Amino acid sequence: MIKEITSTSNPLIKELASLSTKEKKERNLVVIEGNDLVELAYEKSCLDYLFVLEENSTYKDIDQYITSEAVLKKLSSNKSVPHIIGIAHIPTKNTEKGNKFIYLDGVQDPGNVGTILRTALAFGYDGVVLSSDSASLYNEKTIQSSKGAIFKIPTYQKLSLEELKNEGYQLIATTLQKAIDYRDVKLNDKFVIIVGNEGQGIKESTYEIADVTVKIPMDNIDSLNVGVAAAILLNHYRF
């Protein structure tokens, strides 16, 4: 279906532009900008409809709204206005969870969350679990920094560490408290890597439930960005 919307006062445009992150989560709606993200959402059957300056033959089976640059600018969260904006959804997870996860314990920067999603996908992990106080998957910066991984790797927002432990997952938490070198861990077949808040690290309750606590040995500085630390651990434990 091809329709035309050229006014920023159109009810659909006003509604989409005013949605809060919470409302997007409630509706499982994400706004994606640019060809790369749109293409990835389309590949995973997550693309619902498009706003474009002219009809795009690549997405013939997707509803398209032919629109103006002013409308695209109103929908966009970027300074430079894209020529294509998609409305998509985050896919439903499979019932089978897999064996390798990373858990984000209060990771609040959406750029870090998106980066970890992207890294976990690149290194073959089965999913990313987010605590309720982590940055939202529906935040524009999370979506952009994931580079499309948000459509390809399963994400869980209501899965607790207690649940995972009861299901036989080994909980490996990153902390400086009584921690061993991350290279000295003997992995179980099923495990969860836990990384914490950018400033405070993991919660005390997380520390108490963990099966093993690990640290990354460093010289000249005592901490790493959580996205960098996650990448080191995800790569090391991937095999």
Distance of CA 56 to the CA centre of its chain: 27
Name the amino acid, one letter, at 203: K
| Distance between first and last Cα of the chain | 46
pLDDT tens readout for residues 94-127: 667 899 999 999 999 999 999 999 999 999 999 9
Strand partners, 155: 128
Fold of 100-236: Alpha/beta knot (3.40.1280)
Burial 106-127 (b: 16+ CB within 10 A, else e): bbebbbbbbbbbbbbbebebbb
In percent, the amount of the chain with pLDDT more than 90 equals 91
pLDDT tens readout for residues 52-101: 999 999 999 999 999 999 999 999 988 888 999 999 999 987 667 899 99
Where do the domains of the chain lie? 2-88, 100-236
β-pairing, 47-52 with 100-105? unpaired
Q: How many CB atoms lie within 10 A of CB 62?
A: 18
Query: For 2-88, which CATH class?
Result: alpha beta
pLDDT at residue 83, rounded to an integer: 92
Backbone angles phi, psi at 37, to 5 degrees: -65, -40
pLDDT tens readout for residues 175-211: 988 899 999 999 999 999 999 999 999 999 999 999 9
Q: What is d(CA 2, CA 90) in angstroms, rounded to the nearest whole number?
A: 24
pLDDT at residue 239, rounded to an integer: 85
At 228, list the tokens. 């960098």
